[in-house]
Amino acid sequence: MEEPERQTTKEKLIDAACEIFAEKGYRETTVADICEKAEANIAAVNYHFGDKESLYDACWRRAFEITSTLFPINGVLPENPGLEDYLYSYAYAIMHRIFSESEAGLFPKMLHQEMSNPTLALDRIAQEALLPQSRFLGEAIRAELGVCDEGKICRCMHSIIGQCAFYNFSRRLRECVPGCGIMSEEDINRIARHIAAFSLGGLKEIKKEPSL
C-alpha cells in the first residue's frame, strides 16, 4: 500500500490559513495563528508568500477554485436550457457552496468576512470570482428580456444574487434560530427552486414593462 503524499509546508500554511481566515477574517487572523495551526516556523509565511496579504490572496483563490469546481454555476443545466434552468443552476450552486460543511464552504465564509470588514483584496475577488458569475446570470436575463437598457438587466441580476447572498450574510442570525443553521440536501434544493421560480415570476413582470 502506498503511503499518502505528505503535504509541503506551503500547502499546510494555505490549508490552515483558509480555515482561520474563514472563521476570523483577515484582520483578526495573525501569522502566529496560522503557523501554529500549520505546525510551521513563524518565519514560514514570509518565506513562502512574502507577507500575510499574499497568503490571503492565495487562500481565497484556492477556496474559490475548490467551491466552483465542486459546485459549478452551470453544473445542473439540462440540454437546451430555458431561463428557469439558468436561474435554478445558479441558485443550486450558490446554495450548496454556502451550506457546505466541506472545503467547498470556505470561500462563502471568507466572502462573508470580507464583506463585513473589507480589505484591499475585495476588488480582486470581485473581478476574478464574483463578476464572471454575475455575467452568467446577466446573459440569461438579457436573452429573455431582449433589447433593454443595461441598468434594468443589472437590477434584475442584483435582485437574484441578493436572494442567494442573504443566506450567506445572515449566517449568525440563522445560527440563532433552531433548524436554520444546517440544511439538508432537500432543503437546499427547495430553496434553489424557490429562488428560481420567484425570480422567473419577477422577470416575466419586468418583461411586460414598456421600453423607455
pLDDT at 3: 47
pLDDT digits (tens, 9 = 90+) for 68-93: 999 999 999 999 999 999 999 999 99
Choose which CATH entry (1.10.10.10, 3.40.50.150, 3.30.360.10, 1.10.357.10) describes domain 64-208.
Answer: 1.10.357.10
Q: Is 78 helix (H, G, I), strand (E, B) or coil?
A: coil
Who wins on pLDDT, 208 or 193? 193
Residue 190 grid cell:
427547495
Average pLDDT score over the chain: 92
Is 210's pLDDT higher than 80?
no
Give domain limits for the chain: 64-208
Residue 113 burial class via C-beta count within 10 angstroms: exposed 0-12, middle 13-18, buried 19 and up: buried
DSSP structure class, residue 179 = T
Residue 168 amino acid letter: N
Residue 135 grid cell:
455575467
pLDDT at 115: 94
Calculate the dihedral angle through the C-alpha atoms of 89, 189, 131, 16, rounding to the nearest 10 degrees. Answer: -130
Q: How far apart are CA 88 and CA 76, in angstroms?
A: 8
Predicted TM-score (pTM) of the model is: 0.90
Q: How far apart are CA 124 and CA 145, in angstroms?
A: 30
Dihedral angle sign, alpha carbons of residues 112, 113, 115, 119: negative
Distances from the Cα of 165 to the Cα of 16, 82, 115, angstroms: 26, 23, 11
Distances from the Cα of 114 to the Cα of 2, 24, 33, 107, 169, angstroms: 40, 10, 18, 10, 11
Q: How far apart are CA 76 and CA 93, in angstroms?
A: 8
Q: How far apart are CA 5 and CA 8, in angstroms?
A: 9
pLDDT digits (tens, 9 = 90+) for 108-127: 999 999 999 999 999 999 99
